[in-house]
Structure formats: C-alpha cells, structure tokens
Amino acid sequence: MTYSAAIECLRTAKNIVITTHINPDGDGVGAGLALVHALSGLGKQVRFLCPSKVVSMYAFLPGYADIQVLEDEASAAATAKADVIISCDAGDIERLGFVAKVARTTLINLDHHVTNTRFGDINVVDVNAESTGVVVEQVLEAMGVPLDKRIAECLYTTIVFDTGRFMHSNTTAHTFRWTAKLLDAGIDASAINRFLAYTKKPHDLLIQKMGIENLSVDAQEQRIAGIVLSADAIKAVGEPEDWGDLVEIARSLQGNQIAYLLRESKDKKSVRCSMRANPPYEVGVVAQAFGGGGHRQAAGCTYQGDLASALRDIVPRLRQQLPSEIK
C-alpha cells in the first residue's frame, strides 16, 4: 500500500474527480462523499462523477444531490481533465464505466477488496479494512483533515453497509473503536440506521415477496440455498431501484452456510450472481472463477450465458466450498 504517495498527490492536486463503481453501494457512495467534503474543505475543486445512478436510499447523505451521473462516452470526452481521479470501492477499472475514460493525470485506487487488480497509478488497497470508508478515513487523518459531522455521517454509512450492520465476519474490536470516533463527531447513528433499513417502498416489498417465492434449498447440499429469478419473473414484477440485500433472504434460513441470488438479464444472455457465505466458508473464489470478485464471504459476478447454464456451472462450485468434514 502507498498511503504516503496518495496523500502527497492529493496535497498538490487542484482539480479532483471522485468516483465509485457501477451500481454504487453504501461503501462507495459514503467513501466518495466523505472525500468530497474533506477535499472541498481544503479549497480544492471536487466533483463526484458516478458511472450509474445512485439509488434514492442514500439521499439523506450530505452531498448526494450534487453527484453527477456519467453514462456515455461523449459525456466522458466532454468532461474537463482532472489532476486526479480517485476511485472508491472498485475492484477493477471496468467497474468505473465511462468515468474511467475521463482525462486525468493520476488515478488513485482506494479499496479493500482482496480481488482488487491494482489498476491505479497509485494503489491503496487495504484488505484488512472493513470498508473503503476506513481507508478514506486513514488518508484524511494523515492529511490532518478534522472529522466533522458531515464526513462522519458518510463514513458511518460505509461501515454499516460493509459489515452488514455489524453482522459480517469482518466486524472486529477495531470496527467498534473506529465507529465510536464517528459517533463522537456528533452523528445520529439511529437515524442513519433507519434511513438504511426502513425506507422500503411497496415495490421493494413485492421484490422480497418474489424472492421468497423463488427460494429453494439445494437438493444435494442443504447448507446451500438460493433465489433464482428469470427475466420473465422480473419483468412481471418490475425491476427495483436497487436489488439491495435480497440474497440475505436465502442466507437467513436456519442451517444455511452459503446463499446465492441469480438474476437473469433482460436479453437472457447473462446472469448476475450475488453470493454470501458464513466463515470459514468462502465464495470469493467462486466469483473469481467467473470473472467477478469481492470478499471471501461476500462476492459477485456476471455469468455469460443463460440461466440454466449458470445454475449448472455455479452451484456445483458452491458445493465444493462446503467440505463434508466441516459441519
């Protein structure tokens, strides 16, 4: 890791673009907005350009309204050159979409995924960090940026999201010590938790209903359960704004150790797969086998092929992650 190189680069940069991955989540959005507030406070010109729409669940975050969506090559070409582009929470450069085509002098890659491809000119990839927000906070602390309420609200969102509300195996004593610093900055943690958990629309509940109706336990390995959604089933209900934590429905079954969600694309030529596992089991290696990535116990990929082929190829690999001697 090269924290010092990133910090020195940011000290001298004047025009900075912040970005995160396609289909941004709480870690990427929170980490990016924390940087926006911190670097703007240092007198720098900062823009947050996102390769796809940020869901309205994060509208409570300060700075959300100023995030710009950059979804085509023409817009990227028309965007003013940046001294620095900072990528937050993206495992590879393809995940940055058209933002990767914006002219820049330096690309800084801030992340915590073990599968990160180190695609930046400067890479700060801390695989021991619970969230990219933790990496961002370390950068800001080294730069002497005070932890104000706005920054802390954004950072708290990253830790809640990437620890699964402090339920994932990456939750440690450090997690709570670090989170306590954010609460000391004056944030209302309970309000943020409500925004993240209790803002579902009626359509979101229909999506959950569809997930339950398409849930099944694996016939060969009952410690595996999954939700399989065809393009036709999704069309009948309608795409949600965000698929969120639908895979957690399968994971919540008693005795479950590995859960998956397969979603067929509209053209039926690819399948998006989200996977979760309880330690010591891992799914990151399965995601990598199909060109994806993520964490050991939370990962995803896009399978090129139809839904039946995805089931045939992915589920046996998940079974291999559950050796019979470990019960």
Domain layout of the chain by residue ranges: 3-197, 203-320
pTM metric for this prediction: 0.91
Rounded to 5°, angle at Cα 244 from 240 and 246: 90
d(CA 150, CA 296): 31
Nearest CA among 257, 259, 227 for reference residue 324: 257
The listed CATH number (3.10.310.30, 2.60.40.10, 3.60.21.10, 3.50.50.60) that belongs to domain 203-320: 3.10.310.30
- The DSSP annotation for 220-279 comes to S-TTEEEEEE-HHHHHHH---S--TTTHHHHHTSTT--EEEEEEE-TTSSEEEEEEEE-T
* Beta-ladder partners of 261: 227, 274
Q: How far is CA 283 from CA 73, 172, 243, 251, in A?
A: 34, 21, 19, 13
Query: Taking a C-beta distance cutoff of 8 angstroms, is the pair 142, 169 a contact?
Result: no
d(CA 305, CA 313): 10
Name the residue with tokens 């940046």.
82
The 10s digit of each residue's pLDDT in 26-37 is: 999 999 999 999
The whole-number pLDDT of residue 325 equals: 55
Residue type, 309: S
The whole-number pLDDT of residue 283 equals: 96
d(CA 62, CA 60): 6
DSSP 97: G
Angle between the N-to-C axes of helices 26-41 and 149-162, in degrees from 0 to 180, rounded to the nearest 10? 160
Query: Taking a C-beta distance cutoff of 8 angstroms, is the pair 59, 26 a contact?
Result: no
Q: For the sheet with 104-111, list strands across it.
A: 68-69, 45-50, 15-20, 82-88, 104-111, 122-125
Same fold, 3-197 and 203-320: no
The whole-number pLDDT of residue 327 equals: 47
Nearest CA among 246, 263, 256, 248 for reference residue 225: 256
- CA contacts within 13 A on the Cβ side of 13: 25
Name the residue with tokens 């704004």.
241
Name the residue with tokens 């891992």.
282
Class for the domain spanning 3-197:
alpha beta
Query: Taking a C-beta distance cutoff of 8 angstroms, is the pair 17, 75 a contact?
Result: no
Query: Taking a C-beta distance cutoff of 8 angstroms, is the pair 104, 114 a contact?
Result: no
Angle between the N-to-C axes of helices 189-197 and 149-162, in degrees from 0 to 180, rounded to the nearest 10? 50
The whole-number pLDDT of residue 1 equals: 61
DSSP 117: -
Read off the tokens for 98. Answer: 């058209």
Instruction: Name residues of the chain where pLDDT drops below 70.
Output: 1, 324-327
- The distance from CA 293 to its chain's CA centroid, rounded to whole angstroms, is 11
